[in-house]
Structure 1
Amino acid sequence: MHPHLARLRRRLRAACAVAGVPVEDRARLVMAATLLAEPAFGTGTEVTLETTTTDGLLAVTVRLPHPVERPRRNTLPLLPYAEDGTSLTWHLPTGAVRHPVPAGDDQATDEETLALIARADALAQEQRELKHELAETNSGVLAMYIELEQRDEQLRRAHSVIFRELEDALRPGPPAVPGLELAVHYSPTDQDSPTGGDLYDWFVLPGGQLHITLVDAVGHGVTSTRHALTVTHAIRTLALEGHPFRDLIARTARTLATIEPDLMATVILARIDPATGELTLANGSHPAPVLATVDGRARLLRSPVVGRGIGFPDPGSPELRHHTLDHGDTLLLYTDGLVESRKDYLEGQDRLLDLAPAYATLPITELPRELAGRMHDVVLHADDTVVLAVRRPLPGGSLSRQAE
């Protein structure tokens, strides 16, 4: 070993012993200074060493003849602070107990090597313990994840049951009406929620007539559902009390004006005598129904004067539309979501008129769902959709044509 290098190492160890620097830190300092100074001493250039102790820190500065680049400094066992690359300074915490100065370089090196080995062993043990803790943590996390997945599945099933029960409560199945076939399809904007503002109600009056109410409340979600329910319940109550069919929309609007001042909804009402096929419609701002006749044609059943819905100015249905359903005729009542999926209401209405004759020949239980699926083959604007189908069947059997 070069004598100047040996002297540098002795000075470093003496300063560390006086300052009470732990052997492990001393070993890293001596090794770092040796790696920097040995090449300089080998070329005969001077290396200076300064040590000072202040505020519980031992400051060791080594000045070299040539700058040490950052990549080289970063490989040292103890990272120094470099002012200009030629002056490198280390700051080591001091201890309360002074250590004896090693008798010789070999003894000191052995002592430092043992300290570094002990530290390496301690780090290895810490790493093993950390891996073990991490494995246990991962196992616990995995178990918790599995439990959360199971609970999530249970919640999904519970929600599904609740949604089905809510769906049944909000949208009842068709009543049994001798002489008429009935079916309905509903598709919500949000497939995970049964709530929405498109609701219907159908029931048989004491005189045997079928009454249908179809409501499309403005908005989405729970509020619009509440508004639509309010309308359907009010109309049912008034209808069963015997109020004139012509007055039901206007009377409902007046009744709800103070109870639900923000409520706005389109409404269409239908009365059908199953014995004669006599149909009466009252329309309050709602899309006109489609009649698919037994001879393969389809047309809109527009009222002479379309009334206004609930929450609109001058609500009511000033003129009713009358028609007689022949055997084999199918009446389609729907909300605007059926015809607005491509963002063009008139184009959607034309498509519905083109498709209705063929789809009206399907079994009644399939008709609303299949027709809505075809109308929604392209969805640029998603909206709640209700399709109600009423057919006066042929006396001798069902229709035979199939939808294309």
Structure 2
Amino acid sequence: MTDNTTSHHHTLLSLRQAVRKVARVHRVPVETRARLVMSAVDLARTEIAAGRPVRLEACAEPSPGGTADQLVVTLDTLSDLTADRGGIADLPLPAQFASGGSVTWRMPLPGRRGDGGSAGKGDRGSDEGTVLPAQNGGAAAGSGCPTSEIHAVEQELRAVLARLDSLTAEHRRLKHEIAETNRGTLALYVQLEERDEQLRKAHGQTLRELEDALRPAPIEVDGLEMAVHYAPAGTDAPTGGDLYDWLQLPDGTVHITVVDALGHGVTSTRGALNVTHAVRTLALEGHPLESIIARTAEILMPFDSELMSTVLLARINPATGDLFLANGSHPPALLLPAGGEPEYLEVRGRGIGYPLPGSERLLHVRMGPGDMLILYTDGLTESRKDPREGEKRLVEAARRHSDRPIAEVPGAIAEDMHTVILHPDDTLALAVRVPPA
């Protein structure tokens, strides 16, 4: 260990001068020197105010790696500074604390000097060789401090200002970069929004085309008016498990199928499509209406054991108004006679995937001029989680809109029924009316 110096101090001014001199002699960078002075004064302030002196020791020694020297500055006080680390944890220059009131700073030095430790006059890290004009034996007029001390303080202030200017310039540069990045991000966001809008339009078009492909083509039959409304539970799929089918059979009667397969989205659509296709095939082959639900289950269940679906079948003769219904666990059809009270047409039965599937019987009624039949799925009446309350509201809505053009009736009924939706579900409403005489 070399260049060992020790001194005792009773005033903060004396301590400042001693620490600053040690740092100048060893060419400690100005910014580090300022931090060292402030840290030593902060630690010694309480001791000196209480009248207790502090001891300052400084030495230059090889660093642990042996590649360069380091300056070791130790401040000894009579108080144990480790007892109040919370108040000194934010020192300008971090230090090592030891019990008994000892604090040590270790700072790497820029290089050793060959003159016994004195810095050269041309070294910008020290002002040891600089002497300014002074009065009163080397002190600045009226200041009470040596000229070299004042010069050292000015150096530290200049270093602080230079550092501040550097940080300000860096902050300005970063702000400019952030602004440029934000502009680029905004432009990218606009592009992504435009692309997203294009994708939404394309997706919507694809969904509409898929929905049109799933919906059977409208049919026109003399003596009947028909219209349908469908809305999926979610916007991510064009349809769910609620499907319908209508066709005119070779004998002139109109066959209508309403299916509600368990689940939502495209997965349930597959099951509903299988049911409607099987029913259509059986109807065209001439199977009795009362046997079609059971026969459909026999055909489909070996291929899809998870399939569960309710089914409502209607067969209407446009010439006579005869209506036949078969039901497999589906909500009952609603009949609104032109001159009578609305009536739910109840038929017992079990759907596809249920035990003993099939309709227990056929229900036969005759529709007259102006009569209207409403077929639907439970998404229409159970949107508020109360089927009975939903059936009452359906009667009121059907009465309210029964005189409108048939094309508007299903949608108007669905709009009234869904003013409040507590249980979103696929919704299907299909209206059949015998034109008034």
- TM-score where L is the length of structure 1: 0.85
**Greater radius of gyration (CA):** 2
Aligned residue number for residue 144 of structure 2: none
2:139 is the alignment partner of 1:97 = no
Q: How does 1:202-213 map to 2 (within 5 A)?
A: 202-213=246-257
Aligned residue number for residue 161 of structure 1: 205
In structure 2, the residue corresponding to 1:365 is in which secondary structure?
helix
Q: In 1, Cα distance between the equivalents of 2:310 and 2:412?
A: 25
Tell me by how many angstroms 1:199 deviates: 0.8
Tell me by how many angstroms 1:72 deviates: 6.9
In structure 1, the residue corresponding to 2:406 is in which secondary structure?
coil
Q: How does 1:226-245 map to 2 (within 5 A)?
A: 226-245=270-289
1:334 partner amino acid: Y
Is contact 1:284–1:310 with CA below 8 Å preserved after alignment? yes
In structure 1, the residue corresponding to 2:276 is in which secondary structure?
helix
In structure 2, the residue corresponding to 1:349 is in which secondary structure?
helix
Aligned residue number for residue 5 of structure 2: none
Q: Deviations over 1:15-67 (max 9, x none)?
A: 54676643221122124434665786577541222446664765544345779
Aligned length: 391
Q: In 2, Cα distance between the equivalents of 1:112 and 1:10?
A: 13
Q: Alpha carbon RMSD of aligned pairs, Å?
A: 3.1
Q: In 2, Cα distance between the equivalents of 1:89 and 1:122?
A: 31
Aligned residue number for residue 143 of structure 1: 187
1:273 partner amino acid: N
In structure 2, the residue corresponding to 1:122 is in which secondary structure?
helix
1:143 partner amino acid: A
Q: How does 1:41-60 map to 2 (within 5 A)?
A: 45-51=52-58, 55=64, 58-60=71-73
Structure 1: which 5+ runs fail to align? 396-404
CA distance 1:113–1:212, shift in 2 (3 Å) = same
Bigger mean CA offset, 20-29 vs 73-82:
73-82
Specify which of 22, 37, 44 is matched with residue 30 of structure 1. 37
Q: In 2, Cα distance between the equivalents of 1:88 and 1:160?
A: 76
1:97 partner amino acid: G
1:94 partner amino acid: P
2:318 is the alignment partner of 1:274 = yes
Tell me by how many angstroms 1:90 deviates: 5.9
Q: How does 1:76-155 map to 2 (within 5 A)?
A: 77-78=92-93, 87=101, 89=103, 91-98=105-112, 100=119, 102-103=127-128, 104-155=148-199
Specify which of 345, 349, 363 is matched with residue 307 of structure 1. 349
Specify which of 237, 254, 275 is matched with residue 193 of structure 1. 237
Aligned residue number for residue 122 of structure 2: none
Aligned residue number for residue 351 of structure 1: 393
2:69 is the alignment partner of 1:62 = no
CA distance 1:299–1:59, shift in 2 (3 Å) = farther
Tell me by how many angstroms 1:82 deviates: 6.3
Aligned residue number for residue 378 of structure 1: 420
In structure 1, the residue corresponding to 2:359 is in which secondary structure?
coil
Indicate the percent of aligned positions where both proteins have the same amino acid.
51
Q: Deviations over 1:189-228 (max 9, x none)?
A: 2245333111111122233222111001111222111111
Is contact 2:231–2:239 with CA below 8 Å preserved after alignment? no
- TM-score where L is the length of structure 2: 0.79
In structure 1, the residue corresponding to 2:34 is in which secondary structure?
helix
Tell me by how many angstroms 1:358 deviates: 3.3
Q: Deviations over 1:133-175 (max 9, x none)?
A: 1111111121122222222222222222122222222234532
Aligned residue number for residue 323 of structure 1: 365
1:344 partner amino acid: D
Is contact 2:241–2:262 with CA below 8 Å preserved after alignment? yes
Tell me by how many angstroms 1:308 deviates: 1.4
Is contact 1:48–1:64 with CA below 8 Å preserved after alignment? yes
Q: In 1, Cα distance between the equivalents of 2:332 and 2:44?
A: 97
Q: How does 1:332-371 map to 2 (within 5 A)?
A: 332-371=374-413
Specify which of 202, 206, 215 is matched with residue 171 of structure 1. 215
In structure 2, the residue corresponding to 1:139 is in which secondary structure?
helix
Q: In 2, Cα distance between the equivalents of 1:238 and 1:51?
A: 105
1:308 partner amino acid: R
Tell me by how many angstroms 1:329 deviates: 0.5
Tell me by how many angstroms 1:111 deviates: 3.2
Q: In 1, Cα distance between the equivalents of 2:316 and 2:102?
A: 100
